Amino acid sequence: MKFLDDPPRFLFFTGKGGVGKTSIACASAIALARDGRRVLLVSTDPASNVGQVFGLSIGNTITPIAAISGLFALEIDPEQAAEAYRERIVGPVRGLLPDAEIASITEQLSGSCTTEIASFNEFTALLTDADGITDGFDHVLFDTAPTGHTIRLLQLPGSWTDFLDDGKGDASCLGPLAGLDKQRTIYADAVAALADQSRTRLVLVARAQRASIAEIARTHTELADIGLTHQYVVVNGVLPNPDGHDALETAIHDREQGVLAALPANLRTLPLDEVDLKPTNMVGIDALDSLFTASTAGEYEPAPATALGEIVDRPLSALVDELAANDHGLIMCMGKGGVGKTTVAAAIAVALAGRGHQVHLTTTDPAAHLADTLDGSITGLEVSRIDPAEATATYRDRVLTTKGARLDEQGRATLIEDLKSPCTEEVAVFQAFSRVIHESRRTFVVVDTAPTGHTLLLLDATGSYHREIARQMGENTNFTTPLMRLQNPQETKVILVSLAETTPRLEAAGLQADLERAGIHPWAWVVNNSLAAAHPTSALLQRRAAAEVVELTAITDHAERYAVVPMLAEEPVGVVALTALTGSAVSGV
């Protein structure tokens, strides 16, 4: 593997959820330890399963992996780190400020930005060896690297503490940044270490899928723009050459090779490794030892017939039947990137339009693949896109014109920096999205990639929208805000889209918890691209399908209702192909 040739002391693995970062990081740590190195493997992934992979309870202490001499592991719990971080900020003012103010500050600190910063605090000490924790280790491997967003936050100029104390902060990332000045020197040392190729190597992990490759292409540019240029690419789970007996296996292989042949230009110049798809999940030392060995699709024994279990017949058409019983409503397809939200949203919209309903299908996804996915039109279906860049620019201009007009030059410069945060984009997109919600009172509105639970909590807690409307309308006035509409299960159906894999399933469960904290209860789950539901005949895919049964069973614990969409030989592009996902009739094409 090129990325393990002459490795520096620090290796960071980053990429979308579910691409196999943890497996690659664990297998790399084992390989280095077997070479006689003393290795510390650190996970900062909220959905970390390092302990599960090694069959140990690890947690927030350095734990030896007894089966591998010289290998140690540490799991940084992002939620625990975030809770401690919140308490450091809120604790000193508790009892000094009104309870409502404390609640608002606490809620601002409940989002993903706080978790990122808190996690970064934890491994900054490891990266700079400030406490001597990593002394004596030849290599420190991090499962989940800091994003360009996190590092950008750490580089923001100005005195954030003074800015907040003066009451000039806005509902975005300012809360998590309180008190950062105290650690500015430590952060500068950490960022310098990340940018030093003699000390650090960044490994971008992806699958041979368009969305996954597009994600690491964006990450590459984002990190390179702030000086982190020494990067490697690992494409995980590539299907070996098929024997030609299983049409599904052959189609997947051809699709993946097409993606690899069309790599974005900014990735073609980077060293790249391909890791073959294996028949089982990467759990245990033996499995991890095999990860970097080449294989062929025909070398595996078929899975026992009973291993696949009984897959409950849960077609997407059953969910559409329930939705179509009404004549209007808001349907929001949510989930992490790469799980197929666009496909599921488009399939539901086409099915409803095919049944004679008026449907507005819209997206807040910057990648905006709706037009490519539909590849045609159908009577009764309107398609639009909320442009995040356009919405954000409008929002920034409005904030600078109003709040920024009252600031001095330094305060305005600080506000401009704050408005570059991704949280600003979430707030701006929500405001644009709010205008679309209004339509769902008379037609179906299907949204691909809705605002996150973090955004909804932030808006509700700070009064940016919901409480501002309440204040303007008065206590005795009836009104309905967008958030209230989202909280009403009669008006809004939230559908969580996932895969039958551990990380996407855990991330979707986390998203469900966030939404429920905002008073929004997901209506259904859709498990996309299931091999088990496709009933493959190849031995390799049958064994992969068997591994899905555990995840499908776990999903039933979270979902009141769910559907399973099988892996298809061809990508579901076009109105006719999308209707096949729901078993709907096509009319007006």
Residue 144 lies in domain: 2-206
The closest alpha carbon to 220, from 259, 265, 266, 261, belongs to 266
Asked if the model's pLDDT at residue 54 lies above 50, the reply is yes
Of the candidates 156, 209, 231, the one whose C-alpha atom is nearest the C-alpha of residue 499 is: 209
Work out how many domains the chain is built from and give that number: 2
Residue 230 lies in a domain: no
Do residues 7 and 132 share a domain? Answer: yes
Count of C-beta atoms within a 10 Å radius of residue 435: 10
Are 185 and 325 in a shared domain?
Answer: no
**Is it the case that residue 175 has pLDDT exceeding 80?**
no
Place of tokens 């620019």: 393
Cα distance between residue 383 and residue 371, in whole Å? 8
pLDDT of residue 234: 97
Domain co-membership, 188 together with 321 = no
Q: Do 349 and 479 lie in a common domain? A: yes
Residues 201 and 329 in one domain: no
Query: Which of 44, 45, 48, 63 is flagged as catalytic?
Result: 45
Pick the most confident of 186-190, 286-290, 356-360, 424-428: 356-360
CA separation, residue 285 to residues 52, 54, 60, 303, 431 (Å)? 11, 7, 21, 21, 49
Q: Strand 272-276 relative to strand 231-238: parallel, antiparallel, unpaired?
A: parallel
pLDDT recorded at residue 556: 83
Per-residue model confidence as pLDDT tens digits over 247-270: 999 999 999 999 999 999 999 999
Domain membership of residue 501 (yes or no) is: yes
Q: Which of 337, 314, 331 is nearest to 446 (CA)?
A: 331
Contacts of 298 (CB under 8 A, 6+ apart): 242, 243, 539
Assign 439 a pLDDT band (cuts: 50, 70, 90). confident
Give 306-362 as a DSSP string: GGG-------HHHHHHHHHTSS-EEEEEE--TTS-HHHHHHHHHHHHHHTT--EEEE
Rounded distance between C-alpha atoms, residue 188 and residue 196, angstroms: 12
Tokens of 308: 């696949």
DSSP 18-39: TS-HHHHHHHHHHHHHHTT--E
Distances (CA, A) of 497 to 168, 298, 321, 482, 490: 38, 32, 18, 22, 20
Active site residue 45: yes
Backbone angles phi, psi at 221, to 5 degrees: -65, -45
Can 477 be counted among the known catalytic residues? no
Question: Does 268 map to a domain?
Answer: no
CA neighbor of 523 nearest in space, from 558, 474, 547, 498: 558
b/e per residue 516-539 (b: at least 16 CB within 10 A): eebebebbbbbbbbbbbbbebebb
* Residue 402: predicted pLDDT: 82
Rounded-to-10 torsion of CA 277, 281, 286, 290: 10
Residue pointed to by tokens 């693995």? 13
Catalytic residue among 16, 21, 336, 341: 21
For residues 199 and 338, state if they share a domain.
Answer: no
Sheet holding 200-207, edge to edge: 63-64, 71-75, 39-43, 139-143, 10-14, 200-207, 231-238, 272-276
Residue 22 maps to a domain: yes
User: pLDDT tens digits, residue range 58-75?
Assistant: 877 889 998 899 999 988
Q: Determine the pLDDT at residue 160.
A: 38
pLDDT of the residue at 75: 85
pLDDT band at 292 (very low <50, low <70, confident <90, very high): very high
Q: Choose the final residue of a domain: 206, 233, 259.
A: 206
Instruction: For residues 201 and 320, state if they share a domain.
Output: no
Of 184, 206, 228, the residue that ends a domain is 206
pLDDT at 586: 47
Q: Is residue 535 part of a domain?
A: yes
- Backbone dihedral region for residue 337 (phi beyond 0: left; psi -120 to 50: alpha; all else: beta): beta
Specify whether 295 is catalytic: no
Amino acid at 476: N
pLDDT value at position 161? 38
Average pLDDT estimate for 28-45? 92
Alpha helix positions (H), 336-464: 341-354, 370-374, 388-402, 409-418, 422-437, 453-462
For the cut 60, the answer to whether the pLDDT of residue 241 exceeds it is: yes
* Mean pLDDT value across residues 268-273: 95
What are the CA-CA distances from residue 305 to residues 76, 308, 566 (Å)?
40, 6, 19
The answer to whether residues 359 and 349 touch, using CB atoms and an 8 Å cutoff, is yes
Is 23 designated active site?
yes
Given 343, 503, 538, 579, the catalytic residue: 503
Within a domain: residue 18?
yes
Angle of CA points 348, 20, 339, to nearest 5°: 5
| Structure-token pair, residue 311 | 């897959």
Q: Is residue 468 part of a domain?
A: yes
Residue 181 and residue 63 share a domain: yes
Q: Which residue in the list 15, 20, 70, 354 is annotated as catalytic?
A: 20
Whether residue 295 lies inside any domain: the answer is: no
pLDDT of residue 345: 93
Q: Are residues 329 and 459 in the same domain?
A: yes
What does the block give as tokens for 456? 């909804």
Task: Kindly report the CATH number assigned to the domain that includes residue 90.
Answer: 3.40.50.300
Residue 166: the pLDDT is 47
**Active-site entry in 17, 18, 404, 574:** 18
User: In angstroms, rounded to a whole number, what is the distance separating the alpha carbons of residues 53 and 48?
Assistant: 10
Mean pLDDT of the chain: 79
The question of whether 317 is a catalytic residue gets the answer no
**The domain boundary residue, chosen from 150, 183, 206:** 206
User: Is residue 177 domain-shared with residue 321, that is, in the same domain?
Assistant: no
Q: Point out the catalytic residue in the list 14, 22, 63, 424.
A: 22
Give the pLDDT confidence of 106-140 residue by residue, as tens digits.
766 766 667 767 777 777 778 777 667 788 899 99
pLDDT-based confidence at residue 326 (cuts at 50, 70, 90): very high
Which of 547, 585, 58, 47 is CA-nearest to residue 300?
A: 547
User: Catalytic annotation on 198?
Assistant: no
CA dist 121 and 105 (Å) reads: 20
Is 538 a catalytic site residue? no
